[in-house]
């Protein structure tokens, strides 16, 4: 009489272990997708910000040109160097913003990979625990005969 109860308990335990592993895998997949989406959003925002920085820099350089011309200064020598530096600074700042966006996206993708791996490990652990429980119970029942 104890054997059927032992088998039923073992099956419930195995199902619980498998369910916990599957649940952990599903949750880790959801979380990894969220982390990757956040990385893509941060990257997109950085690209947008970089474009704005560059555009504003070129607009400011154009404004400088008009101010020099309006003041009667020829666009040569120091004036030309100043305008070129303005454009270069804007381009440099924009590239730094792009690099930050790429780094944030890469970090998010790395985190997502880690989260997925944790989920897979939990699934494997759940399966291993379930199989171990089944084998232990089978050996226990066989030993009692």
35-86 residue pLDDT tens = 999 999 999 999 999 999 999 999 999 999 988 888 887 878 888 899 999 9
Query: What pLDDT is recorded for position 2?
Result: 66
Q: What are the distances in angstroms from CA 68 to CA 41, 80, 84, 134?
A: 40, 10, 13, 85
**Rounded distance, CA 76 to CA 74, Å?**
6
Query: What pLDDT is recorded for position 139?
Result: 81
Tokens coding 49: 């910000």
| Confidence grade of residue 145 (pLDDT, cut at 50, 70, 90) | low
Question: Scanning the structure block, which residue is given the tokens 């925002």?
Answer: 45
Mean pLDDT over residues 126-141, rounded? Answer: 86
Give the global pTM.
Answer: 0.74
The domain segmentation of the chain, as residue ranges, is: 13-134
HSE-CB at 123 with a 13 A cutoff on CA atoms is 13
Mean pLDDT over residues 82-95, rounded? Answer: 95
Q: Is there a contact between 50 and 99 (Cβ–Cβ < 8 Å)?
A: no
């Amino acid at each position: 009489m104890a054997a059927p109860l032992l088998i039923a308990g073992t099956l419930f335990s195995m199902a619980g272990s498998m369910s916990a592993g599957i649940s952990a895998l599903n949750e880790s997949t959801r979380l990894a997708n969220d982390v990757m989406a956040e990385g893509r959003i941060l990257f997109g925002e950085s690209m947008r910000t970089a474009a704005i920085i560059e555009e504003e820099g070129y607009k400011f350089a154009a404004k400088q040109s008009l101010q020099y011309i309006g003041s009667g200064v020829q666009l040569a020598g120091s004036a030309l160097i100043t305008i070129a530096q303005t454009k270069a600074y804007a381009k440099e700042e924009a590239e730094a913003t792009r690099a930050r966006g790429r780094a944030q996206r890469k970090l998010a993708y790395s985190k997502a990979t880690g989260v997925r791996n944790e989920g897979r490990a939990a699934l494997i652990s759940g399966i291993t625990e379930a199989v171990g429980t089944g084998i232990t119970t089978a050996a226990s029942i066989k030993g009692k005969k």
